[in-house]
Amino acid sequence: MTLFTRTLAGLWLACCSSLALAQITVEDAWLRAPVAMSTSAAGYMTLHNQTGQPITLTGISVSPQIAAKAGLHQTLDKDGLMSMRPLPLPLKLAGDETLAFTPGGKHIMLSGLKTTLTAGDTVTLTLYFTDSINQTVSFAVKAGNTMQGDHQHHD
């Protein structure tokens, strides 16, 4: 490959990968600082598909230095008894659909925490979609009301 075509190829990749990323937006991404001794933490975000096409969420990952596992869960309220189960994946989002992960609803779960997360920290997670689309998202760690937590039963 000549220098010229290599440069063009590089520009092409830079252009189009960032373009694709700009069309799936994540807002209000935060993780609730876990209580002392807890080995799991819940996270929330608003995912907005602005690609104009259906996209399919297939999973989430976390650096192994932070936690053993990242998962997507949903909270179920059965007769006042809160429980949760893995969110069925893959999960399709229609063009322009917004999917909210909120306390008491769908949420992100880090389990097997290997580090202390305190308010003010930032944790980077990666969301995976079909068609080799992935997106890293910065989650701000915030103190939260643990009484309205989703998973007291976790530990």
Closest separation in Å from C-beta 107 to Cu ion: 6
Smallest distance, Cu ion to C-beta of residue 86, A: 9
Provide φ and ψ at 152, rounded to 5°: -60, -25
Please name the amino acid found at residue 21.
Answer: L
Looking at residue 87, what DSSP letter applies? P
Shorter beta-carbon distance to Cu ion: residue 41 or 133: 41
Angle at 89 between CA 64 and CA 55, to 5 degrees: 100
Name the segment binding Cu ion (CB under 5 A); options: 18-26, 27-35, 129-137, 146-154: 146-154
CB of 32 or CB of 73, closer to Cu ion:
73
Q: Which is nearer to Cu ion, 47 or 109 (CB)?
A: 109
84 binds Cu ion, rule: CB under 5 A: yes
Tell me the number of residues near Cu ion by CB under 5 A: 4
Single residue of 34, 70, 73, 110 touching Cu ion by CB under 5 A: 73
Residue 32 touches Cu ion, criterion: CB under 5 A: no
Dist CA 53 CA 98 (whole Å):
13
Q: Is residue 124 within 8 Å of residue 139, measured between CB atoms?
A: yes
Interacting residues with Cu ion between 90 and 109 (CB under 5 A): 109
Strand intervals (E) in 13-155: 24-32, 40-49, 55-62, 67-78, 81-86, 91-93, 98-101, 106-113, 122-129, 134-142
Nearest distance from residue 150's CB to Cu ion, in Å?
A: 5
Residues of the shown chain interacting with Cu ion in the complex, contacts defined by CB under 5 A: 73, 84, 109, 151
